[in-house]
Structure 1
Amino acid sequence: MTDTSLAVPGLRSALRSLWQDQRVWLASALMLAVLAVADRNQAAASATFAATALLNTAPFLVLSIAIAAWAGATGADNLIAKAFTGAPVLMIGLGALAGGLSPFCSCGVIPLIAALLAMGVPLSAVMAFWLASPIMDPSMFVLTAGVLDLEFAVAKTLAAIGLGVFGGAVVHLMMKRGAFADPLRDGIGNGGCGGARVRAPKPVVWRFWTDPGRRTKFARTALSTTLFLARWLVLAFILESLMLAWIPAETVTATLGGDGLLPIVTATLVGVPAYLNGYAALPLVGGLIDQGMAPGAGMAFLVAGGVTSIPAAMAVWALARPPVFLLYIGLSLTGAFASGLLFQLWQVL
């Protein structure tokens, strides 16, 4: 009986994990199956479009996978701890830089943030990292350059860092007036393995291939990243093909085109519920821009959606008290609008 009682929860956990991994593939297959019944020509066109787009993106895809696997194998994400030492203003800048540039594993963000706050790191520096982290990382930079263009990738990186600095500065000023003395919810600990990275950061092993364990980790990370990116990009490219086929370019231009403020405001607000995934959003924004979406609106959509996406927002809600959560959302939307506006002005100039 003991063996059975242990096996059943293990089986349930395995099935749950399998379902979570395969549901995106199932969604893509279901969409193509429905299309094959309703419109065979569109089904063939969408499948061809997705395959061609994946092939064209393959060099950037391979590079982004290699970067993610290298970061995990070398332990480069341990460098994150160095961003949270020094004067508050310096920590804000380094926190934003670390969030915007570091190849940090998303599964470690929640315990890391809890650890930082529980250990007394100022909320201003943590907020800078928290805001910048969901927007950009090296893998995202490579894919953004490949799917959109290099200028957009650089601008999105600057937007991530700028949003982090802006949010950290606002929190710093509010804290000087006595706000956010106790930002964590009751019962939140110091973060387990995420806290260990801050308390005792391990050295980075650049020559990871000399260690069998690190070589294995490189291979596993490369495989998991490949499957993750492939399933999301296939779904995104299928959606992009349908968007290009069914949504008139005139509609996109009228709603999200032009140089005014309204398209950027609209994209900022639409980005909150419509954002699927950072990698999946890139082809969709690329398709919308091809149909007449203003580049600034595309930037606002990606920034707003990245920071306020369900996983990112749930992480904040789970750890922080409601006032901190509301400030996070407010800073996200304000920063997304400002990023879109500045990028649009840059395009005009």
Structure 2
Amino acid sequence: MEMSNTCCTPAPKTPFLVTLWRDHRVWLASLVIFTLLVIFDRAQASASLDKVWVSLLHTAPYLLLSIGIAAWAGASDADGLIARAFTGTPALMIFLGAVAGGFSPFCSCGVIPLIAALLAMRVPLSAVMAFWLASPVMDPSMFFLTSGVLGFEFAIAKTIAAVGLGLFGGWSVHLLSGTSALRDPLKEGVGGGCGASAAQGTKPVVWAFWKDADRRGKFTKEAIKTTLFLAKWLILAFLLESLMLAWIPAEMVTQALGGTGVGPIAVATFVGVPAYLNGYAALPLIGGLIEQGMAPGAGLAFLVAGGVTSLPAAIAVWALVKPKVFGLYIALSLSGAFMAGVLFQAWSAFG
């Protein structure tokens, strides 16, 4: 009887272009967009290149700090120690996550490596989400800038909104934590899963990891991997953001956000997603709109929703977590921003 050779037949090779796109599609997307700009609009290509470069320089300190923390945690076996800092009752973890996010200097993109490490170490998603949602809305420098542009009262309201959004998101995730959609939130290949075992183990922390060659190598490997992961997504995000700024007229935003009542707050919440510039550039825009009669609640909703769901932040989150978790992140951001706007509007009217 003739034996089948099926098991010995080598698997067909994946076409080169398919492999290239699968492994490098983010880099290729940025390259294709920039190439088209060079061909059809060289002035915009130059402006977009400047925007990407300036944005990367602006976020570099936070990115380097986050990358360093993630790489250090893996090289020193301190990832378990970091995870244990997020232990305790759900109420305490969510509260600390929201407060830390509301006052931390991390931007929504710079905190991505730390979030990936925490999720890989099986830190509860509720505490991580509380930190994640609050972090991009407010930080110390943003507080002082908001006070100067929109007033101290608005800065306080934005800070309360940041912490409140974190608490709202953290408790919402906690109540949904039993669903299958929230198990293993990270995408395959993100975080590596090694942190989880480290968090559950009893390895001693080697603070001076640089004295060991293997640990130095592990630090370098993790730092390079995280840097490339962030760079490819942030370059694409800032490139798309530059096109949004160039091609969406400011007058369109003004017309959509003008007026008073709950309606403009709802509109501002959703318009903030595509129209948000960045945390610093958005403040003068909102200041000008408020001077033209825009309700303060709508301005706050725009800043909160736009800050959490801005293009760089959204792309970074999409790259990190599974689609259902990303959808929950967006839903919590928009609903929380709308509630913050309504409450601030009510307080402004009766305060």
Please report the TM-score for the alignment, with normalisation by the length of structure 1.
0.61
2:50 counterpart of 1:22: yes
Residue 201 to residue 184, structure 1, CA distance change in 2 (3 Å): farther
Which residue is 1:98 aligned to? Answer: 100
Which residue of structure 1 aligns with residue 314 of structure 2?
313
Larger helix percent: 1
Shift of 1:314: 1.1
Aligned residue pairs, count: 246
**1:1-349 pair list within 5 angstroms:** 22-23=50-51, 84-104=86-106, 108-177=110-179, 179-189=181-191, 256-258=258-260, 260-349=261-350
List per-residue Cα deviations over 1:130-183 (Å, max 9, x = no partner).
111111100110100011100000100100100010001010010135541111
**AA matched with 2:347:** W
Given the superposition, is the C-alpha separation of residues 21 and 247 from structure 1 closer, same or farther in structure 2, using an over 3 Å criterion?
Answer: closer
- The amino acid of 1:124's aligned partner reads S
Gaps of 5+ in 1: 1-15, 27-64, 203-234
TM-score by length of 2: 0.60
Assess if the C-alpha contact under 8 Å between 2:121 and 2:193 holds in 1.
Answer: no
Residue 333 of structure 2 aligns to a residue in which SS? helix
C-alpha separation between the residues in 1 aligned to 2:282 and 2:142? 11
Offset of residue 86 of structure 1? 2.3
Q: Is the 8 A contact 1:83 1:91 kept in 2?
A: no
Kept after mapping to 1: 8 A contact 2:101/2:134: yes
Query: What is the distance in 1 between the residues matched to 2:151 and 2:171?
Result: 30
Change (3 A) 1:309 1:184: same
Write the distance in 2 (CA, Å) between the matches of 1:132 and 1:283: 22
Instruction: Verify the 8 A CA contact 1:115 1:190 in the aligned structure 2.
Output: no
Alpha-carbon spacing, 1:346–1:190, altered in 2? closer, same or farther (3 Å): farther
Residue type of the alignment partner of 2:124: P
Gaps of 5+ in 2: 1-33, 35-45, 74-81, 208-241
Query: Are the aligned partners of 2:282 and 2:303 in contact in 1 as well (CA < 8 Å)?
Result: yes
The 3 A distance-change label for structure 1 pair 274 and 190 is same
- Going from structure 1 to structure 2, the CA distance change for 1:20 and 1:129 (only over 3 Å counts) comes to farther
Of structures 1 and 2, the larger Rg is shown by: 2
2:120 and 2:191 in contact (8 A); partners too: yes
